[in-house]
A and B are shown apart, each in its own frame.
Chain A
Amino acid sequence: MSPRRSLLSRIVPLMLACAALAACEREERVLRIDPPVAEALADVEPMPNGIGGSHPEVYAVLGAPYETNAYDLSQGKRLYSWFGCKSCHGDGSGGAGPSLLDGWWRYGSDIESIFLTIRDGRPHGMPAFRDKLTTEQVWQLAGYVQTIGAYSAKTAAPGRDDDKQTRPAENRAPAALLMERRGKP
């Protein structure tokens, strides 16, 4: 074996091992959000009709965590059951309130609209949760609600259900209306 070859044969596995190590990084959980960041997260500028708007600058800087982070989605799922969302929206398939998983969004499917819906409420029954949840919690809940009715599956999923499944899992694809249509010839 030539000296050159033996050097290569040593370096290549080492580099491969280093590359594999990079995959060991696990998703980061932000447990404590800095108060100024939390405050800045409330700066959603809605469009005049209350649908859609610009997200706070800090939201993009954080990397849109509430749509993609499994921990935040799980916390959102807990908030969904703790704060009585089930009493109107059921398991997501609706009840006294509209369904969340059918993919039909009255006020837009973007997370800013969902944030505004939860925080400020909407006419005909949706209460405002401004005084019940912190801004961070509203974002977590909005991320989870968006997941329920997303048009394409997210890569991150919230925690599993302990009870029997009554509806498709949150990280399935796509939304129920589209799924039904796809099933038809």
Chain B
Amino acid sequence: MTPRTLRVLAALAGALSCTGCSGWQSALDAHGLQAAHLLRLITFIVVVCTVVWILVLGALAVALWRRRSGPSEPSDTGPAVERRLTVAVSSAVAVTAVVIAVFTAASYQTTRALSDLPSDALTVKVRGYQWWWEVSYQDPQSGRTLPSANEIHVPAGRPVRFVLEAADVIHSFWVPSLAGKQDLIPGRTNEIAIMAQRAGIYRGQCAEFCGLQHAHMAFMVIAEEPAQFEAWATAQLQDAAAPTNPEQERGRQIFLTKACAACHAIRGTPAAGTTGPDLTHIASRSTIAAGLLDTTRGSLAAWIADPQTLKPGNNMPMVPLAADELRAVSAYLASLK
């Protein structure tokens, strides 16, 4: 291998490891105002600490390398040497104190910037369950609330206030590309502000261990242009689509008569359960079961047929359905755009 190929390979390996820093879930790939603040802070701290580390190791190397000038005993120092030592140690302590004080001031500044929230912010309520996210939008104009789950649409460039609650245990709301973490705690309300700077799909994840399926408690934040967001909200406010063929109609009937409707709501039908996610527009969401599977008719059917194999311990029971009933229900749910 020539030195040139080696160099190219090394550069490639470096570039490859850098790809780990980008993507739809990375604090190092900031697309939100708050994440950018945090990224600036962590970059500043890492750079300063790197310089300190190099200086300390340099001093250590020099001390190891330098020969003693003579066979003098450590205690055998004159007042001049003593003074030099005092100055060196005091200034090292002083510099350390200053660096830490600067870090403290910088993180205080960043924290203040994070909690800054303009009054025109959109409010989204997020409630954590084992193991999914209930999302509801409050429209101040119409006073209507728009329930959804596991997928949060936000207008890009507009600040959004997330009001966080938990139904059972402590969860934590974290969209690394957009902002820092905030816990969802049963019995109290927390808030976090997020402003996506550009349109895109950002993945979020529960960041506080909350039980068996903590890892399968993901969500999507979809930042859209304001016009697109309005169109989405208008569509979501509609009742569920009516069945368009006999199979879907049969699926609707089965959904309403079996245990499904006891936990799930489909607006526009008598199904009004509140224990599980609202399914009015389930087929418009990109994943089901909190980021576990892509939303397809097949995955819907697989999930209904055996939720405890796909996500053991979740609260959806295996409702006994015959094969043709399963086909009909999955056809109906897949039609709920």
Residues on A facing B (Cβ under 8 Å) = 29, 31-33, 35, 38-39, 75, 78, 82-83, 131-134, 136-137, 162
Q: Which secondary structure characterizes the binding site on chain B?
A: loop
Contacts A32-B308, A32-B309, A133-B259 given; does A78 touch B317 at CB 8 Å = no
**A56 vs B317: C-alpha distance when bound (angstroms):** 20
Some 7 contacts from A to B, beta carbons below 8 A apart, are A31-B308, A32-B312, A35-B318, A38-B320, A39-B320, A131-B258, A136-B317
Q: B residues within 8 A CB of A38? A: 318, 320
| Residue of B whose beta carbon sits closest to that of A34 | B318
**A75 vs B308: C-alpha distance when bound (angstroms):** 14
**A35 vs B258: C-alpha distance when bound (angstroms):** 16
A35 contacts B315, CB within 8 Å? no
B317 contacts A29, CB within 8 Å? no
Q: B residues within 8 A CB of A32? A: 306, 308-309, 312, 318
With A33-B308, A132-B259, A134-B319 given, name 8 new contacts (CB 8 A).
Answer: A31-B312, A32-B308, A32-B309, A33-B318, A82-B275, A131-B257, A133-B262, A134-B259
Nearest Cβ on chain A to B61's Cβ, whole angstroms: 50
Residues on B facing A (Cβ under 8 Å) = 186-187, 257-259, 262-263, 275, 306, 308-309, 312-313, 315, 317-320
| Residue of A whose beta carbon sits closest to that of B275 | A82
* Cβ-Cβ contact count across A and B, 8 Å cutoff: 39
Q: A residues within 8 A CB of B319? A: 134
**A33 vs B317: C-alpha distance when bound (angstroms):** 9
Q: A residues within 8 A CB of B187? A: 162
**A132 vs B319: C-alpha distance when bound (angstroms):** 10
**A29 vs B213: C-alpha distance when bound (angstroms):** 14
Q: B residues within 8 A CB of A75? A: 315
Q: A residues within 8 A CB of B258? A: 131
**A158 vs B287: C-alpha distance when bound (angstroms):** 32
**A162 vs B186: C-alpha distance when bound (angstroms):** 8
B313 contacts A131, CB within 8 Å? no
Q: A residues within 8 A CB of B186? A: 162
User: What are the nearest 4 A-B pairs in CB distance?
Assistant: A32-B308, A132-B262, A134-B317, A31-B312
B317 contacts A35, CB within 8 Å? no
Most buried by B among A31, A38, A39: A31
Partner of B320, one of A132, A133, A134, A162: A134
**A180 vs B101: C-alpha distance when bound (angstroms):** 64
**A33 vs B258: C-alpha distance when bound (angstroms):** 19
| Residue of B whose beta carbon sits closest to that of A81 | B275
Contacts A35-B318, A134-B318 given; does A83 touch B313 at CB 8 Å = no
Q: B residues within 8 A CB of A39? A: 320
Q: A residues within 8 A CB of B262? A: 83, 131-133
Nearest Cβ on chain B to A71's Cβ, whole angstroms: 9
| Residue of B whose beta carbon sits closest to that of A75 | B315
